[in-house]
Amino acid sequence: MEKIQQRQSSGGAVRVAALLSLMVLFACKPEAPVGPEDKKIYTPVSTLRGEAPFPVGTAVQSGRIDQSSYANLINKEFSSITAEYEMKQDVIHMGPGSYEWGSSDAIVDFGVKNSIRVHGHALLWHSSAPAWFDTYSGDNAAFEQMMKTYIQTVVTRYKGKVASWDVVNEAFEDGSGAYRNTIYYQKMGPDYIAKCFQWAHEADPDALLFYNDYGAEYDNSKRKAIVEMIEDLKARGIPIHGFGFQMHINYNWPSLSELTKALDALKATGLKIHFSELDVRMNPANDLTSFTEARALAQEERYREIVTLYKTLPAEQQFGITLWGIKDNESWLLNFWGNPEWPLLFDSDFRYKIAHRGMVEGL
């Protein structure tokens, strides 16, 4: 009994001493952080657009740029915008000769009003072919005429406001580099790409015209097909000014040497190069349920590496780098892959991730 009392009273003394020292600690260090500090976010000292020698862009949606939180962040950080989906044919082209301009106008107006470059995306993409194409009854010549009218109507509407266009998106198959068997290929034949560039150029001779695709980063056959197509267009005097690497990459793939090889191959065409849809998957193997500090550091390094690679291009070939969205929780990757993901520079509360620091430091 006595032993128990002694233990209790010495335990009590230890607790009182510990409490006192804690009080002293807090009294001396009132600024000490409460709770663990989140090292995955940081306070920026500079902005992307402030640091970059070339335009840095983001994909936008009309329903978001209406909100001041987005508008303010875009104006602060970015000098270029691309419509994430609202300047595609399935949103604009309602039927032969019928157009819906509400969302695309809102995005272009936002760019013009804020002196932010607008990159047009994308005039032809098989994945955004309007559903009514399936029941279109005109012959191939009529379809081709309709595509010419569509391209020239859109490009003319935004002449002087949209600086550049992805004229054709994703025209080659994965693995083989064969022409993708799209409705455009079927109805207009293999020369449809050249025709689309020519039509767009007629409508706005000042617009820079891009071919945009994924896979050139790592797929040798597709990359070879793209380079050959570009060289063919150039040799025939068809106006093509740029190539867009979409750059949907992972934190650990493709390797820097693979990406360097890819960039060098397209650099050799002399065209302007756009990293047009950059995001970095952090959970491709689905081994994370929450974003760890170690993975955040890997992301910071990856963004730094990508920007450093981009800067190996001569200045006249640097069209810019566009992020495919702003906040992690709104990335297309979440729905597409179904894994938890954190691919972008801002978290769901618009807080700056250290990935932003990596990108800024690489610039």
From the candidates 86, 144, 170, 217, which is the catalytic residue?
A: 170
Query: Pairing mode, if any, of strands 117-125 and 164-169?
Result: parallel
- Residue 208 has phi, psi (to 5 degrees) of -85, 130
Query: Pairing mode, if any, of strands 164-169 and 248-250?
Result: unpaired
From the candidates 77, 84, 217, 277, which is the catalytic residue?
A: 277
User: Is 31 within 8 Å of 344 (Cβ atoms)?
Assistant: no
Q: Is 217 in the site for ligand 9MR (CB under 6 A)?
A: no
Residue in 42, 133, 136, 332 binding ligand 9MR, rule: CB under 6 A: 332
To ligand 9MR, the closest distance from the beta carbon of 212 in angstroms equals 7
- Residue 322 has phi, psi (to 5 degrees) of -115, 125
To ligand 9MR, the closest distance from the beta carbon of 83 in angstroms equals 9
Our answer to whether residue 170 is catalytic in this structure is yes
Burial grade of 28 (CB within 10 A; 0-12, 13-18, 19 or more): exposed
- Kindly write out the interface string for residues 165-184 of this chain, putting x where it contacts ligand 9MR by CB under 6 A and - elsewhere: ----x---------------
Q: What is the CA radius of gyration of the chain?
A: 26
User: Is 307 within 8 Å of 278 (Cβ atoms)?
Assistant: no
Which lies closer to ligand 9MR via its Cβ, residue 47 or residue 322? Answer: 322
To ligand 9MR, the closest distance from the beta carbon of 90 in angstroms equals 7
Which lies closer to ligand 9MR via its Cβ, residue 85 or residue 218? Answer: 85
Which lies closer to ligand 9MR via its Cβ, residue 204 or residue 277? Answer: 277
Burial grade of 259 (CB within 10 A; 0-12, 13-18, 19 or more): buried
Residue in 217, 277, 341, 347 binding ligand 9MR, rule: CB under 6 A: 277
Question: With CB under 6 A, what is the number of residues at the site for ligand 9MR?
Answer: 8
Tokens for 58, please give them: 């983001």
Q: Is 341 in the site for ligand 9MR (CB under 6 A)?
A: no
Residues 97-156 that bind ligand 9MR (CB under 6 A): 128
Q: Is 246 in the site for ligand 9MR (CB under 6 A)?
A: yes
Q: Is 337 in the site for ligand 9MR (CB under 6 A)?
A: no
| Gap between the Cα atoms of 56 and 273, Å rounded | 13
Residues 68-107 that bind ligand 9MR (CB under 6 A): 84-85, 88
Which lies closer to ligand 9MR via its Cβ, residue 278 or residue 306? Answer: 278
Length of the chain in terms of residues written: 363
Our answer to whether residue 293 is catalytic in this structure is no
Q: What is the maximal distance between C-alpha atoms in the chain? A: 104
Q: Is 47 in the site for ligand 9MR (CB under 6 A)?
A: no
DSSP for 222-262? HHHHHHHHHHHHHHTT----EEEE--EEETTBS-HHHHHHH
**Catalytic positions, please?**
170, 277
The residue ranges that bind ligand 9MR (CB under 6 A) are 84-85, 88, 128, 169, 246, 277, 332
